[in-house]
Every structure is written in structure tokens, then in C-alpha cells.
Structure 1
Amino acid sequence: AVSWQLNRDNVPAVLEKEYYWLETLNEPGRYGSNGELQIERLGQFSLATAKLAVAEGYHYAAFAFSTGVPEPEDWEHPAMLEFLRYAGEHPDQVGVALHEYSLTADYITAGYPYLVGRFQALFAVCDKYGIPRPTVLITEWGWEYSDVPEPTAGVEDMAWAQFGGIAQRAHLLILPMRDYATSHYFIYTPGIGEIDPSIFMQPTPTFLYLESQPMPTPFPRPQHMP
């Protein structure tokens, strides 16, 4: 309750709560500060926070896992399934926040669907257990920590799917992406039980002869819950 109150009260009062989603975590690791797996704790924490948010009329996005996290089987933990059921019952107020990066500026499909596209593993678990797919917010998306592609290539990557020294270069992508987004529709409803990552595979020359590996991010940035 304290974590929720601190995050809620940190939002400027002029913002109307129906227009934004609150995240109370940022890239928690699979393992806690004691070195033990904390998936159960994350599920319990997020469910309790979600119930507080719903009771007060807020929109809550849980977890905000980093690239390559969690492992697909983590979603099947009983505590996670309990949270997902609640999220599935409250799609307009409770969601799952995820961060997806390719970890290279060369091509966005590097490691697909284990880096970008990893959200499909979550949907597959929900389908397996008959849980409505929750609202998923990709609250961070991109290439790598300190680099972005040139605008033309970057817009192509974003069509498929300001930080530090790259802020000015990233800024060049804003107007082209705005123009593209306002002139194209993106509609695909696969339905329950139809997870097929190959549907979204980008057939770019840079992806030829590269094989995806079912592994977490090679550069984990574990952080711990408050």
C-alpha cells in the first residue's frame, strides 16, 4: 500500500487519472536482492497494487520487465496466473507493461521473438490457461542503449513493430514516424490460441542466415523491488 501511495501521490494533481497509466516498478529482475527467484513476490505485489488502483479509479500497468525478461515459464507461476486473471477481468484498468529492445541498431528483428516480440509468450500462457489476454503496454521499445538507426531505416523498423547522447538522433525519427502512423492502420487480431511469431517476421536482408536463440537478454539489467 505504501508503494502505491507514494507513486500515486507523485503524479501532478493537474493530470486527470483517466488519461494515463501508472507504473510502480521499472525492470525488476527475476531474482531479488537475496539471490532468490522473486516471481511469486512480483505476482503478489502486482495483484495487490492492481486492486488498490482499480478501487481508486486509476489505470495500473504492472512489472515493466526489461528486454528478455521474464522467462516464458515465469508467467505460469500460480501467483502470476492469479494476477493475469485479474488483469484479464479488468482490461481497461489493469495491464502489463513490457520493454522490448533488439539490443542492436542494425535490425529490429535481432533475437525475435525472444527480445522484440516477447509479449507473445505471455499471450500463449494466457491462451493455455483460458485467461483473457491482458492489456499489454510496450512502454519502452527500441534498438540499443546508446545508438539508433538512421531515420529511414528507423521508421521502417517502427512500421514493423531521449536518452543521453542519442537524444538528437532519436529526435529525427519523431516527425517521420508521426506522418507514417497517421497515414497507416495496424490491425491484426490473431485470436485465442493462435500465437504464431512467424506472422510478424520481418524479411530484411540483414536477418538472413541469423538464428534466434531462446535465451534472455545477454545484457541483463536486474533491478529490485522497493
Structure 2
Amino acid sequence: MAAEKGSSFMDPFKGLLLTYLMPESCYDEFFLNFNFLDVKLPQILKLVGASSAEGLSLQSVLLELVAITGTMAYSIVNKFPFSAWGEALFLMLQTLAIGFLIFHYNQKTSRGVLFVLVYGAVLSVLLSPVTPPALITTLQASNMPAIVIGRLIQAVSNYQNGHTGQLSAISAFLLFAGSLARIFTSLQETGDALMALTYIISSMCNGILVLQLLYYWNRKPPAKTKGD
């Protein structure tokens, strides 16, 4: 039932997505089966292919990671079904990989490794019995400002640069469409208004980046000279 509702909601976007961004098999996996494993894979592949993280804001990625972690921890503590938060696990792993790649391509690989290890330690503490549920709820409530600030930081960076750098259009469109669909499925599967509000705010902020990607579509980072 959730898949059918998500599908009917996304029907107006289906033609655009299938024409310009993805094959129908990918659309079905994402919007019908809610397989979010590959959402940020295009972004990771773009970074690796370019051997550059130009244009991506580390602060934005870190704030996004905080928001994703809050959603995941809140869902686990409240024993929500995996279908309601499973994508957060996959998004966390992929966002963590993007954060590491930003460090790596800025010649700070050792800091990237430390970043991954510290995050793993913090996550272990959050999911352990020593962490009071009230703290997890506060972390979930902080998702909205974290998402807004993180997306705005990236949007301002795009504006200042005059291009979107290595920001992946496919990942941005998928995140935008996925967060829209998740507003309805989260209400149905959890009945939690805080979860739904998080996805509403996320949709609005993701929409800003999508608009920038369209506006700066043909603008590329300036070519670097040997002196750079």
C-alpha cells in the first residue's frame, strides 16, 4: 500500500526522471521498492571519476550526517519498522564515504580516516543503553536546523562559485524526490509527526539545490592552470 501511494504521488515526475536521469529499472527500485542503497552512489562515482571534490562543502556533508544519524538513532530507539528508516542506514554509509572522499581529495586522507573512526565511536555510544532516550529525541529534533543550515551552506557555496562543481545532479534529484515520497510513507508507517516534518523540511532544502543545478546546468568549474 505504501509503495502504491508513493508511486501515484510520483507519477507527475516519472516522465521527466525516465527521460533525463535514469532507466525505468532504477525508477522502480527507488520509488516502488524503496531501495535507497544507490541514492548517493552517483555522487560517489562522480567524485572518484573526477578525482576531485571541488564545489562540495564539507560543513554541509557533516550537518547532513548529523541529521541522518539522528533519524536513524531515533527510529531504532523507538523500534520503528526497518521499512520506515532503512534508507537512513544506507544514506549514512554513503554520506560517510563522501565525507572521507572530500578529505582525501583535499590531501587530508589521514584526517578522513580519523573522521570515519570517530563517527563510528560516536554512533556506537548513541545506540548503546548508556545514552538516554531524551538525548536521542533532542538529536532528532535538531535535524531540521541541521538540514536547513547544511543545505544553505551548500547553496551559498554554489552561488559564490558560480557553478555546482562535482555536485551530482542524479543524487540531488533522487534525494529531492525521495524526501517528498517519504513524507507520506513515514506518516503511514510510523504516525510520527516529527519524522514527517523532518522530511518536509528536507524536501524544501533539497529543492533549492535542484533549482541551482538546473540554473547552473552548463556552467563548469574554471580550468586550473599549472600555476594553480
The question of a shared fold, defined as TM-score above 0.5 by the shorter chain, is answered with no
Per chain length, whose mean CA-contact separation is higher, i.e. which structure has more relative contact order (CA < 8 Å, sep 6+)? 2
TM-score normalised by structure 1 residue count: 0.31
Which structure dedicates a bigger proportion of its chain to helix?
A: 2
Which structure dedicates a bigger proportion of its chain to strand?
A: 1
